[in-house]
Amino acid sequence: MAPLLRSSQPWVEKYRPRQVKDVAHQDEVVRVLTNTLETANCPHMLFYGPPGTGKTTTALAIAYQLFGPELYKKRVLELNASDDRGINVVRTKIKDFAAVAVGSVHQGYPCPPYKIIILDEADSMTEDAQNALRRTMETYSKVTRFFFICNYISRIIEPLASRCAKFRFKPLTEEIMSKRILHICQEEGLNLDPEALSSLSSIAQGDLRRAITYLQYGARTFGSYISSRELISVSGVVPEEVVQALYSACRSGNFDLADKEAKNVIAEGYPVSQVLSQLFDIIVQSDDITDEQKSRICKKLAEADKCLVDGADEYLQLLDVTSNTMRAICNLPEQFSYES
Chain contacts with ligand ATP (rule: CB under 6 A): 12, 15-17, 23-26, 51-57, 151, 169, 172, 180, 208-209, 212
User: What is the distance between the alpha carbons of residues 62 and 58, in angstroms, rounded to a whole number?
Assistant: 6
Is residue 56 a contact point for Mg ion (CB under 5 A)?
Answer: yes
- Quick note: the x/- pattern for Mg ion over 208-237, rule CB under 5 A, is ------------------------------
Comparison of 180 and 327: residue with beta carbon closer to ligand ATP? 180
104 touches 112 (CB < 8 A): yes
With 0-12 / 13-18 / 19 or more C-beta atoms within 10 angstroms meaning exposed / middle / buried, residue 235 is buried
Closer Cβ to Mg ion, 56 or 216, answer by number? 56
Using the rule CB under 5 A, give the single segment among 55-63, 164-172, 256-264, 271-279 that binds Mg ion.
55-63
Nearest to 172 by CA among 80, 71, 50, 331: 50
Contacts of 125 (CB under 8 A, 6+ apart): 85, 86, 119
Nearest distance from C-beta of residue 172 to ligand ATP, angstroms: 6
Task: Name the binder of 25 from ligand ATP, Mg ion, none, CB < 5-8 A by kind.
Answer: ligand ATP
Question: Smaller CB distance to ligand ATP: residue 11 or 255?
Answer: 11
Q: Which is nearer to ligand ATP, 204 or 232 (CB)?
A: 204
3-state secondary structure of 192: strand
Neighbouring residues of 122: CB distance < 8 A, sequence distance ≥ 6: 130, 148, 149, 150, 156
Least Å from the CB of residue 28 to Mg ion: 18
DSSP conformation class of 339: T
φ and ψ at residue 310, rounded to 5 degrees: -80, 5
Q: Which does 130 bind (CB under 5 to 8 A by kind): ligand ATP, Mg ion, none?
A: none
User: What, of Mg ion, ligand ATP, none, does residue 216 touch, CB below 5 to 8 Å by kind?
Assistant: none
Which residue has the CB atom at the shortest distance from Mg ion?
56
Q: Give me the residues that bind Mg ion (CB under 5 A), please.
A: 56
